[in-house]
Structure 1
Amino acid sequence: MGNCFSCFKVPPVPPPAAESSTDPASCKPLQEASDQEDGDVDGGMLHRQVSEKQQRSSEMVQSNGNKGLSGLLGEGVASRTFCRIPLGGRSGSDKRSDTASANNNSLLPVRSVSDSKINALFEQYKDGAEDAILADGIERLCNDLCVRPDEFCVLVLAWRFEAEQMCCFTRQEFVTGCKTIKVESIKGMQSRLPDLCREVQQDGELFKKLYRFTFKFGLDPDQRILPADMAICLWRLVFSQNEPHIMHRWLQFLEQHPHVRGIPRDTWNMFLNFVETVGDDLSSYDDAEAWPSLFDDFVEFENDQVNQNVTKARESGICD
């Protein structure tokens, strides 16, 4: 990825000179047959022309030591030019075969990354006591990548590495992840991150996978429900590149209702469907559908806010 396959295309073979496509001596039967077929037109003139051509061809062969094409072109040039093109002409199927071969050669395999280089990179950030990159190492890694640990691209990187928990890359996660995105250095990782982010932003299915990963990523090993404060932070992070219109009001609702202490997995997952369904003003919300009760509470809260604003506006107009 990121490589331009056109850089690997094989340069086209220059066509051979027209006069060197056949041996001069081999032209005799064709010329004599042609002379016989057209003898009625001007047999004497054609006979003289053929005789002169035969004499010149014989002299050329003799002057080059009877080497044929090798003598006329040089042995190296002849072998390089004609080893790819069959003598005696090219049929349409031959041309199609050559085209298919050229297309296959233009897509050469991308160079694989080095396990030893990836492991050496891992060692630069590995914790002294554990065979993993922990919080300090991840902070140094982010500094070298010129990004902050709370940026969207770091979340994407953790997703592509299939990290089990925050602030930790095991050796297996790091090595396998680098192989997956085909990087073996900080420079390579730095140049690859924008592509990874762009891919997930442009592909809805990839974003859905990232979104569902984010819930699991935020859990501690013994947790099944995401704490509300952590969920708020992760919602801000995962939607930082494409924020839904209701996002600010949703997070404000959670912050103003401290009784909401945790977000279950189904609520987290269905929120993505929720923001795609309800519209900017929640007018498409149907409470008869099987939405989590927290969404019902949010819509009711929003409607109350709208009614209060309308009432205040009317009272303000009356007082004026």
Structure 2
Amino acid sequence: MSKTKDSLLSEFCSITSASQKDARRYLDKHQRRLDAAIDAYYQEGGGRTTVASTSKLNALFDKYKDPTGDNISIDGTIQLCQDLKVDPENVVLLAVAYELKSPRVGEWNKKGWVEGWSRLGCDTVDGMKDALTRLRAKLGSDATYFHKVYDHTFGFARTEGQRSLAIDTALAFWDLLLPTGLTGGALKHDLTGEDVDMDAEESSGWTDEHTQWWFQFLTEKGGKGVSKDTWMMLFDFIRSIDSQFLTHDAEAAWPSAIDDFVAWARSRISR
């Protein structure tokens, strides 16, 4: 077995808690494509070791539910985080929000709660703690899963009735998500199909420094907010752009904010 396959097996097992046998089977079936293998594993129920009890989940929901309403709100969310021993601003909660289809920050409805935790095979706080560990690893390393959580976060973070995100709100959520994807590999740069002649340093792709450039650019630019189009397209932009911004196609259908940022970044590089 090659070192590459050893590494894939180890990563698959780390993310899913699957056995080596199952990891090998899914990776072989999906031609060693980690993202596809992990997705198939979860879609086929491989990630569940137990069947969650609806009655237990209903009881837990009622424990955290707002006494004057039908949903879990901010106070219940804070108590839940304390029980799970997780910081309310931990990025893994964005993955939980996606799994439980939370409509907005600090709010969980019973349908999403029961169906979401059931899919994850959890009906106890300890089981949920274990799920958070798996989700955190998957969010960082699985590009497909990261993209799903990233897309859900826009509506989750947006103020009800607003079409865009306030810039400071967008920056706060990007500050959680982007370092996670960059460190874990979900936002890894792919040069496949690029024709530009670049050395290894130039072709390394987006880095944490570029994230800070993006934040600085948006802060200087100001404006009313970040549109859904800009939010969604930034994911593809980060994965496709080189570190010197040489491969950007201004004629492609990028949002104007991204085109303007490229011009701003190129000017900074050329100084």
What's the TM-score once normalised by structure 1's chain length? 0.60
Bigger mean CA offset, 238-247 vs 267-276: 238-247
Pairwise CA distance, 1:203? 2.3
Question: In structure 2, which of residues 238, 244, 251 is the aligned counterpart of residue 281 of structure 1?
Answer: 244
Secondary structure of 1:242's partner? helix
Superimposed CA distance per residue, residues 207-251 of structure 1 (whole angstroms, 9 cap, x where no aligned partner): 111111111111122121111111111111122313341211101
Cα distance in 2, alignment partners of residues 215 and 132 from structure 1: 21
Secondary structure of 1:303's partner? helix
Match of 1:142 in 2: 81
Pairwise CA distance, 1:122? 1.1
Question: How is 1:202-221 mapped onto 2 (pairs within 5 angstroms)?
Answer: 202-221=141-160
Superimposed CA distance per residue, residues 118-166 of structure 1 (whole angstroms, 9 cap, x where no aligned partner): 1111122111101111011101111111111111111111111111111
Match of 1:71 in 2: none
Runs of 4+ in 1 over 3 A off after TM superposition: 1-6
Match of 2:192 in 1: none
Instruction: Kindly provide the amino acid, as one letter, of the partner of residue 125 in structure 1.
Output: Y
Question: In structure 2, which of residues 133, 140, 156 is the aligned counterpart of residue 194 of structure 1?
Answer: 133
Cα distance in 2, alignment partners of residues 297 and 278 from structure 1: 14
Could you list the runs of 5+ residues in structure 2 that have no partner in the other structure? 1-15, 22-45, 183-205
User: Contact (CA 8 Å) 1:250, 1:298: kept in 2 or not?
Assistant: yes
User: Contact (CA 8 Å) 1:211, 1:238: kept in 2 or not?
Assistant: yes
Cα distance in 1, alignment partners of residues 221 and 49 from structure 2: 53
Pick closer, same or farther for the CA change 1:292–1:117 going to 2, 3 Å. Answer: same
Q: How many residues are aligned here?
A: 206
Cα distance in 1, alignment partners of residues 56 and 177 from structure 2: 31
Match of 2:220 in 1: 256
Question: In structure 2, which of residues 208, 217, 235 is the aligned counterpart of residue 272 of structure 1?
Answer: 235
Question: How is 1:1-320 mapped onto 2 (pairs within 5 angstroms)?
Answer: 2=17, 110-243=49-182, 244-245=206-207, 246-258=210-222, 260-307=223-270, 309=271
Secondary structure of 1:272's partner? helix
Pick closer, same or farther for the CA change 1:224–1:117 going to 2, 3 Å. Answer: same
Match of 2:34 in 1: none
Cα distance in 2, alignment partners of residues 285 and 257 from structure 1: 20
Which of structures 1 and 2 has the larger relative contact order (alpha carbons within 8 angstroms, sep 6+)? 2
Could you list the runs of 5+ residues in structure 1 that have no partner in the other structure? 7-106, 310-320
Structure with max Cα Rg: 1
Instruction: Kindly provide the amino acid, as one letter, of the partner of residue 160 in structure 1.
Output: E
The alignment yields a C-alpha RMSD, in angstroms, of 2.1
Superimposed CA distance per residue, residues 16-52 of structure 1 (whole angstroms, 9 cap, x where no aligned partner): xxxxxxxxxxxxxxxxxxxxxxxxxxxxxxxxxxxxx
Pairwise CA distance, 1:303? 2.5
Match of 2:24 in 1: none
| Percentage of pairs with the same residue | 30
